[in-house]
Amino acid sequence: MVTSVTNFSRSGLYDWVMQRLTAVILGVYSVFLLGYLVMNPALQFGQWSQLFEETWMRIFTLLALISILAHAWVGIWTITTDYLNDHTFGRKSVLVRFPLQMVCFIALFGYVVWGVQILWGL
C-alpha cells in the first residue's frame, strides 16, 4: 500500500467514503439553495442576507465549505498520485507532485478561511 504525508487518511476505503459523504452534503446544500431560489423568484438582497444571518444556515454553509475542501483534496491527491508518478517523471516525481499538492491544499484552505470570514464576519 502506498502512503503519503499528503493523504488525508492513508486508506482508500476511507477516502472513498469521504468523497461519497461530502458529495451527499454538497448535493443537499445545492438542492436547498436551488429550491430556495425557485421558491423566492423575486428575491431581494435583504431576504438573501436574512437567510445567511440564521445560525443554522451559517453552520450548513460551513459544513458545505469543509465538504468542498475534503472532496477536492481527496480528488486532487488521487489524481496527482495516479498521474504524476514514477512512470511519468521517473524518480523525481515527488519533486513535481508534492509542490503541486501543497499549492492546491493552500488554495483550498485559503478558500475555506475566506468563506469563514465572509460567513461569520471575522
Q: What are the chain's domains? A: 12-120 (1.20.1300.10)
At 8, list the grid cell: 488525508
**Residue 80 contacts residue 97 (beta carbons within 8 Å):** yes
> Mind listing the pLDDT tens digit for each residue in 41-92?
999 999 999 999 999 999 999 999 999 999 999 999 988 888 877 776 667 7
Q: Is the pLDDT of residue 2 over 60?
A: no
* The pTM of the whole model exceeds 0.85: no
pLDDT at 6 over 60: no
pLDDT of residue 19 exceeding 50, the answer is yes
Q: Is the pLDDT reported for residue 122 higher than 90?
A: no
CA distances (Å), origin 82, targets 7, 11, 58, 60: 13, 15, 36, 33
